[in-house]
Structure 1
Amino acid sequence: MSQIINLRTARKQTARAKGRQMADANAAKHGRSKAERSLQDARTAKARAELDAHRRDPDT
């Protein structure tokens, strides 16, 4: 005997799976890894700190 399947739940599961597949494809195409993002943030912070260190008037 076959199992009873709730069609609404099956449709939602199919839609979630399709959404995850699209998200994975977009992440592979456009995304950066966490290490790359943190490296970029660190470089930006260092550049900002070096620029601020060369200010003539530290009050502004």
Structure 2
Amino acid sequence: MSSEIINLRRARKTKQREARADAAAENRIRFGQSKAQRALTAEAEALATRRFEGHRRETDGD
């Protein structure tokens, strides 16, 4: 029964560090774009939303 000893403080800090790194990577993608790229992305997202909403079924609403 010899298992590896884990320092919980160090594990918690490592987990927080990884979460911050993931958020930073996402922010680099989101905020690292030019104005034209942001407009193109927004337009593509709007088109995808319209297409998705267009396929929604309408119910009779009891």
Query: RMSD value over aligned CA atoms?
Result: 1.0
1:6 equivalenced with 2:7 (yes/no): yes
The whole-number CA distance in structure 2 between the counterparts of 1:31 and 1:2 is 44
Measure the CA separation in 2 of the matches of 1:27 and 1:2: 39
After the TM superposition, which segments of 4 or more aligned residues of structure 1 sit over 4 Å from their partners? Answer: none
Q: Deviations over 1:21-56 (max 9, x none)?
A: 000000001115xxxxxxxxxxxxxxxxxxxxxxxx
Aligned positions, number: 32
Percent of paired sites with the same residue: 41
Map 1:1-60; keep pairs closer than 5 Å. Answer: 1-32=2-33
Normalised to the residue count of structure 1, the TM-score between the two structures is 0.50
* Matched residue SS, 1:27: helix
Largest Rg, 1 or 2: 1
What are the ranges of 5 or more consecutive residues in structure 1 without an aligned counterpart? 33-60
Counterpart Cα distance in 2 of 1:15 and 1:28: 20
Q: TM-score, normalised by structure 2?
A: 0.49
Unaligned 5+ runs, structure 2: 34-62
**Following TM superposition, by how much is the alpha carbon of 1:2 offset from its aligned partner in structure 2, in angstroms?**
1.4
